[in-house]
A and B are shown apart, each in its own frame.
Chain A
């Protein structure tokens, strides 16, 4: 466990949390004073109906308790900056949806209330989170947020393309690369894969999945820096850079924005890519918006032919770095009890299922009872069944250690995607790139202030 700083702050946070916990009635949930007004921050996903569904859920809570909830959004892009800004200007919300590395990062700053006892109550109501997800919410053995769902990444492929070329659907990174080699047809502007090392989750997320599935982590189980100069990392870096040679991918892959791989996949320029369910959402939408019968048939075929496979595995297992969303209470909240009540409401199985219904498969609930309750929803078709399993393969940032501020900074510093870029663009050798990446990671761990 990394040593922690500003013990006074942590103690205060703990004290606040403890007193809040003590204030809770033995049974049942936190009481809510009428007229309380809370600010809730949630992630604006690419699927608008989902955002509205969460807002609606929050409003249902407000109605039930005669309180008020103001919902504000942040996006994938400004997840960091928005919270940072709020922390610096003391304008944090009451309840905030926190992505994978946020709970430990903010808890380390003393910004979150200790929710350890509260989490036990949630457990009895909604079940436990699986062991691979729980670490996201904890720091120093205490719980600072309640896990809600995982937004998985999946390996999208065009089934018809694979069938036509008689290539097996890939289960591992190695297989995917072989498949790409077999399927790529540059002359027809069709490529075997589209994996960009850009500075989005499509980039750094997949890089982490690649690393973790090969058993490579830049931190040890104790969360301290560990060197990545290993043979496994060599394999990882080779995979990451080999796919850019031999015309396996479109020429501009490295410069794609977050939507680049979506577009290229949907336009059938590439055979494989990693993405969240938003591709399926886009294709389902396209069917709904089809203009005539011919157009509709074409889009339905496309929908039927695209497959979301479980994210690729490696020699060490199948690990998928993804966004694990949890809900935390900020210490600046004037009504922590109401905040906890809101969280309890949102993560309850009933409400979770209602949100799932509008999520187009994006959210895989994490708490057991919610998971069971949403099973029917995910039974729609194969793709959805895969979506529902996302939590199974989840690995947090900083695997195999806990999520620490240093791990979060490694991800935020773009090192993970800059390293292969140096080989691809600046023509460094694989060794040089690994050496550089390792040095930079060590610097972060050394200089991140305690």
Chain B
């Protein structure tokens, strides 16, 4: 694991009011963002920051106001981000030994990412994922669209995404996010063709192997774990 200053970024929020200026900088351990069309700002999809009561309350209010933030990180040089309308915000406390007050943790998720759960927006054309592991890609896409897939097809699916230019990397802190472009019908069509050509097969009398996908926001820290098929 890298030292904290090499893997954790920061989030800055500045707002000038009539008689005062709010200027908050928080530690940010995870972020997923995507360059906007103008290439000067970015649409943020995940934000995970740690701070005290007042700082987290201010950030939560700013997200509700669709405010702009400045993100910096290990490989990100001051990027203007906004999380947009309909963001979902989750807050919790972290008790740290030796501290009188707990730290506050805030996670914000964009509206688009919040719909990547099973059955959410089934006609979607893109899916944002927090990891580029091939088994994880196929597993999450199958859960979202209800696709009948087997773990053995992960490598084939990853190659197809690259061959068809259906996968693009996103800006990430603490993770390696990607956006996968395609609908349920498109992916189902790929599977049908591949089965016809024999690129993938269904085992006749065998049980499918269990999924080996990262179960946390690990970013390569603890790579794989079994997930029930």
A and B are partners in one complex rather than unrelated chains = no
- Spell out B's residues near A (CB within 8 Å): none
Binding site for B on A (CB under 8 A): none
